[in-house]
Structure 1
Amino acid sequence: MAMVGLFWITEDSVYLGAEPVGTASGVRLTEDGVEPLGSGHGSSWSWAEVRRIEAADVAVRSGARRLASLAWDSVAVLVTGDGELPPAFTVRVETADGTEEVSVLSTAVGGVHTPDEYELSRTLLERITDSREVVGELLAWGRHHAAEGTPRREEREALLRKWAGAQLDL
């Protein structure tokens, strides 16, 4: 399994946010559509039904602020012995019938994403909504590379740019 931007990619699945465990909520992206996971969520949607997917409430900080936040969290755990789950963010799936919100756990260490990874992930979500073949690209990458673990930041950003077809100057 590997974290790339807001995505958790395994050898056979792509999740927006962390892969849910047990009854935790989550969102799985498939070549057929979007599946909300966990109790209290409706049925899945085909890509023809999905108008937009949005990630909101994502913790985003610059590299230096992210490191400071991770250091502070590490000290807090050492002092109190009490670790916390990574922060959650909201995934909104918009269809003709309305918008459903699903809370998912962050994939990033400490739950904080860099601005570049966040913006590239948002661009990729737009492309996925427009072309379901993109999920196939992520799944193919996962089959060949997810077992290697999370790539370094530069490689993650390069993958996001490739998948998003991004010409962004971030």
Structure 2
Amino acid sequence: RRRCAAVGGSEQPMAMVGLFWIAEGDVYVGANPTGSAPGIRLTPDGVVALGDGQSGLHLWEDVRALTVADVPVKSLKRQVGAVADVALDVVMNLGMTLGPGLSGEAPPLMTVDLEAHDGTYELKVHVAAAVGYSPAEAELSRALLSRLTEGAATMATTLAAMSEWGRTAEGATPRATQREELLRGWVG
């Protein structure tokens, strides 16, 4: 069972489904941001940009489109590279006291383009999947982001379903086939 730190030091269950990080009833695009890290939280009111340099609320009624172009997609090369990085980190951490991770680097960033009535905003989020996302999950996630901008009723129903799943999932990230099934259900 995976957990993530929440405000005030307590922990809350979380799960990853496609490009979405769902921590109890909270839905994020990309990884759940901590501290001043960039991120996006999807709420019934709108898209909340989090982190240094991109704070703010974009109301759903003003959001015309949400797109992500630079999603890292799983490949054999990416998976082998991730395994090699983990092995190198383990060796280095056994031999030296560098703390967690070899370099302490943050995960890569994705750009979410939010088109609103008053312009286009480039919002950053951290990638949550270490070896990238499956092509199916990436495409379904893009379709889901598009669905959220189709109107208030569609957004409310879809976001409520995602939040409800997050509250009942007990923080377990489902297997790939289950994630794809969830995304297809939310896309409708």
| TM-score bin, normalised by smaller chain | 0.7 to 0.9
Are 1:74 and 2:83 an aligned pair?
no
Cα separation, 2, equivalents of 1:87 and 1:138 = 25
1:129 to 146, 149, 170: 149
Cα separation, 2, equivalents of 1:41 and 1:67 = 31
| Counterpart residue identity of residue 28, structure 1 | R
TM-score by length of 1: 0.87
User: Residue 45 of structure 1 aligns to a residue in which SS?
Assistant: strand
- 1:54-89 CA distance string (max 9 Å, x none): 112211134x34432322322343455515332111
| Counterpart residue identity of residue 186, structure 2 | W
1:2-21 correspondence to structure 2 within 5 Å: 2-21=15-34
**Mind listing any 5+ residue stretches in structure 1 that lack a counterpart?**
166-170
Identity %: 45
TM-score by length of 2: 0.79
Compared with structure 1, are the counterparts of its residues 128 and 21 closer, same or farther at alpha carbon in structure 2 (3 Å cutoff)?
A: same
Cα separation, 1, equivalents of 2:115 and 2:174 = 31
Deviation at 1:53, TM superposition (A): 0.4
Cα separation, 1, equivalents of 2:171 and 2:110 = 26
- The residue number in structure 1 matching 2:139 is 119
Deviation at 1:20, TM superposition (A): 0.6
Which has the higher Rg, Structure 1 or Structure 2?
A: 2
| C-alpha contact (below 8 Å) 1:87/1:111 kept by paired residues | no
Are 1:49 and 2:62 an aligned pair?
yes
Deviation at 1:42, TM superposition (A): 4.7
- The residue number in structure 2 matching 1:142 is 166
1:24-103 correspondence to structure 2 within 5 Å: 24-62=37-75, 64-78=76-90, 80-81=92-93, 82-83=102-103, 84-103=105-124
Compared with structure 1, are the counterparts of its residues 148 and 40 closer, same or farther at alpha carbon in structure 2 (3 Å cutoff)?
A: closer
| Counterpart residue identity of residue 20, structure 2 | F
Cα separation, 1, equivalents of 2:55 and 2:120 = 11
Cα separation, 2, equivalents of 1:78 and 1:16 = 29
| Counterpart residue identity of residue 5, structure 1 | G
Between the two proteins, the alignment pairs up a number of residues equal to: 162
| Coordinate RMSD, CA, aligned | 1.7
Cα separation, 2, equivalents of 1:28 and 1:42 = 11
Runs of 4+ in 1 over 4 A off after TM superposition: none
| Counterpart residue identity of residue 142, structure 2 | R
User: Residue 103 of structure 1 aligns to a residue in which SS?
Assistant: strand
